[in-house]
Amino acid sequence: NQLERELREALADGHFRLYLQPQFDGRGQLRGAEALIRWQHPQRGLLTPGDFIGVAERSGLIRPIGYWVLEQAADLLHGPLQDTCLMLSVNVSVHQLRDDDFLGHVTSLIRERQLAPERLVLEIVESLLVTPGVTSRLQALRRLGINLSLDDFGTGYSSLRYLQEFQVDEIKLDKVFIDPLQHQDDVPLARSIIALGKALGLRLVAEGVESAPQRQFLQKHGVDILQGYYLARPEPVPSFLDRL
């Protein structure tokens, strides 16, 4: 199909762009960023993942595209971010985790770029079907020193089961739990998920922070990392590097 062919060309012609959305700790210090892919389409302009990730997954192109994103992140950690202790989070699709080569690829990337693996976070979206193969691959990645994060935590069917089945370092509280804090002083559900994360000794990231009251609540309840439009939007890499 047309989009698939265009995706192939985009990969060959270098039309993907890496955007970074800054993440801050509770005191407002820059702590790292989430890598978010964009497609600079020659006719249609800058496209966001919603426009093409689905097709990339169904066609299998998510594997080379995902490797491209990982390489970009590795280059940043090895290059301009080397003398910082900033972390980079990369979204990983289920299709990448099902790939037998994924572990080997990440391992050689770490070795070649001499990366500190603890500065790389892989965000696992909850919708993935956790087969035993995927579980053991996740644990192997973690043994390498890479951080695992459960993305969109609380919105999938098996959030709690994942916590039982494999170890992670971080959970990302989905925006749907942060949204009600716009109009309510207290949201018992958000508070409970925070308490759960803390009881398990996990790092907590809140995404979709869009206002001062939300930030205040999250800080008060000890959420470690904040991300959202109120603090910073996803931006091209040079803009992010200007922050250093």
- Give the residues lining the site for ligand G (CB under 6 A): 21, 36-37, 48-50, 53, 62, 66, 69, 91, 93, 151-152, 207-210, 228-229, 234
Q: State the Cα–Cα distance between residues 27 and 141, nearest whole angstrom.
A: 30
Q: Does 23 bind Mn ion (CB under 5 A)?
A: no
Nearer to ligand G, 155 or 199 (CB): 155
Q: Does 123 bind Mn ion (CB under 5 A)?
A: yes
Nearer to ligand G, 50 or 238 (CB): 50
Per-residue 3-state assignment (H helix, E strand, C coil) for 29-60 = CEEEEEEEEEEEECCCEEECHHHCHHHHHHHC
Stretch 110-149: interaction string toward Na ion, x if CB under 5 A: ----------------------------------------
Q: At residue 49, what is the residue type?
A: P
Of 151, 170, 174, 224, the one binding Mn ion (CB under 5 A) is: 151
Nearer to Mn ion, 4 or 51 (CB): 51
Torsions phi, psi for 83 (to 5 deg): -90, 15
Q: State the Cα–Cα distance between residues 129 and 94, nearest whole angstrom.
A: 8
Other beta carbons within 10 angstroms of residue 172's beta carbon come to: 27
Q: Which residues pair with 19 in a beta bridge?
A: 36, 236
Nearer to ligand G, 153 or 166 (CB): 153
Of 6, 99, 126, 152, the one binding Na ion (CB under 5 A) is: 152
Q: At residue 207, what is the residue type?
A: E
Q: Are 80 and 115 in contact (CB under 8 A)?
A: no
Nearer to ligand G, 67 or 166 (CB): 67
Which of Mn ion, Na ion, ligand G, none interacts with 54 (beta carbon under 5 to 8 A by kind)? none
